[in-house]
Structure 1
Amino acid sequence: MATIEVWTFAVATPPNIDLSGFTAEARDGKIGKVDEATHEAGGSFIVVDTGPWIFGKKVMLPAGTIRDIDPDTETI
Structure 2
Amino acid sequence: MSSIWAYAQGSGYTPEQSLVGFAVQAADGAIGQVDRQQDQPGIQHLVVDNGVWLFGRSVLIPAGAVTRIDTGAQTVTVASTWEEIKAAPQFVTDSETTDPTYLAAVGTYFFSLGLTPAS
Structures share fold, TM-score greater than 0.5: yes
Secondary structure class of the residue paired with 2:53: helix
Runs of at least 4 residues off by over 3 Å: none
Partner Cα distance (2:41, 2:28) in 1: 30
Partner Cα distance (1:14, 1:8) in 2: 12
Structure 1 segments unaligned to the other structure (5+ residues):
none
Match of 1:74 in 2: 74
Partner Cα distance (1:48, 1:4) in 2: 21
Structure 2 segments unaligned to the other structure (5+ residues):
77-119
Secondary structure class of the residue paired with 2:25: strand
Match of 2:7 in 1: 9
TM-score, length of structure 1 as denominator length: 0.89
| RMSD, aligned CA | 1.3
Match of 1:32 in 2: 32
Contact 2:12 2:70 in 1 (8 A): no
How many residues in Structure 1 have an aligned counterpart in Structure 2?
74
Percent of aligned pairs sharing the same letter: 38
Match of 2:21 in 1: 21
TM-score, length of structure 2 as denominator length: 0.59
Partner Cα distance (2:53, 2:61) in 1: 18
Deviation at 1:4, TM superposition (A): 6.4
